[in-house]
Amino acid sequence: MNYTEKLQNVTVLGAAGKMGSGILLLTAIEMADLSLKPENKGKLFVLNAMDTSSEALKGLMKYLKTQVMKAAEKKVIALRQVYHHRADLIDNSEIIEQYVEDVLFIVRPTTNIEAAYESTVIFEAIKEDPALKIKIFSQINEHNKKAPWFCTNTSSIPINELDRKADLNGRVLGVHFYNPPAVQKLVEIIKTDSTDPELVEFALTLAKNLRKTVVPSYDFAGFIGNGHFMRDALHGINEAVKLTDNFTFSEAVYMINKITQDFLIRPMGIFQLIDYVGIDVCQYIMSVMNPYLPNEDLHSDLLDQMLEFGVRGGQNSDGSQKDGFLKYEKGRPVGIYDIHKKGYVSVSEIQPKCDELLGMLPASYQPWKAVVGNRNKEEVFKTYFNELKTIKSMGAEIARNYAKRSKEIGLKLVSEKVAFNENDVNTVLLTGFFHAYGPINDYL
């Protein structure tokens, strides 16, 4: 089967979830675009949107309609050419409406896994649970006589383990989209020694058509993205715990979060990022990775404690941020959790004291928003970090050590053959985490 034939019958598992919905949207548009080509006239394209909740699938279809309409509006000129033979479609609004109809026609919402038994490609975006993924893969593989390809969105589970335990004989590939898939440009591609080369070629073609930036990773738990992020997060957590010897818990979290956002010029502080991903998700990913790391302990007692208190982070169904280490109002942090009071302390109560203790930022400081798109940002960072080297303050010292640790983590990913090279590590952090500079640099 060629690329188009493989995409004639596809299933997305976990389609109504945060990651699955984005993968479904991208796949639906790609399949619709293929179906509208003259050479594919008359061919049936089916995209099964499989999830366990009928109610969630209803919301998914509303989301799809809205997003496809936005996509159509952006490419209406190209769509005019696609529908040039349709004399009945005159106005842009009519063309857009027809395209939305054509895309949604392909999608079949379902709660029945049996729908996947006829698919040639399975995209999986279910819970990050090895046993559950293996069970579902095995079930589909047993009943599907078409020897389907499995593209798993796992961010931490070794692909070889899924392949071996589900008896897929090389028909599984790690295709790790970043959140949210419809917006994020990065896709990590993870193959094993036994992965079908045609599956790899298919995934690379799909990623190219979706205009994604592809970074390959060796098949090691956590891959590049979580390989760096989980260790970086654990370092931040441990630095905050150290500060609690002399400061309150809330003050410690505030200071490390400020250092990682402002002093290191990142889009958000490390505790805000943990909240965004979800405290429970971070804890679980660490637990999945840890058995594969014999020389280090990727575990945090603090994350366990926060979950015991019922503080989880993550997002609400409307995309708004749930409270975690930080309390949020309209997306902005307004409070810091206190594990002793089991409640939130207002940022305004601790900010003046903490900011004074951390000390001033270098004179050349520019916030992330101002520098991330700067064509001369390399010179900006050289100047900034040269100044940071000379400042003798608590904030500057912790920031320097944090940056050095971040670089150390990146270099370790290369030396231990998780990443192919240093550039791939930097690309993942630049593209997948929106950092303004890669962790492997010579600034300090």
Between strands 9-13 and 46-50, the pairing is parallel
What DSSP element (H or E) covers 200? helix 197-209
pLDDT of residue 168: 98
Residue 173: strand, helix, or coil: strand
Mean pLDDT of the chain: 97
The C-alpha atoms of residue 116 and residue 6 are separated, in whole angstroms, by: 13
SS3 of residue 334 by DSSP: strand
The residue type found at 97 is E
- Between CA 409 and CA 403 the distance in angstroms is 10
Residues 194-237 have pLDDT tens digits of 999 999 999 999 999 999 999 999 999 999 999 999 999 999 99
Provide the whole-model pTM. Answer: 0.95
- The C-alpha atoms of residue 425 and residue 432 are separated, in whole angstroms, by 10
The predicted-structure confidence for 113-168, as pLDDT tens digits, reads as follows 999 999 999 999 999 999 999 999 999 999 999 999 999 999 999 999 999 999 99
Find the mean pLDDT for residues 268-278.
Answer: 97
pLDDT above 80 (res 317): no
Structure tokens at 306: 């926060």
Share of the chain above pLDDT 90, in %: 97
Which domains does the chain possess? 3-217 (3.40.50.720), 225-306+346-432 (no CATH)
Report residue 272 as tokens. Answer: 């805000």
| CA pair distance 69, 16, nearest whole angstrom | 18
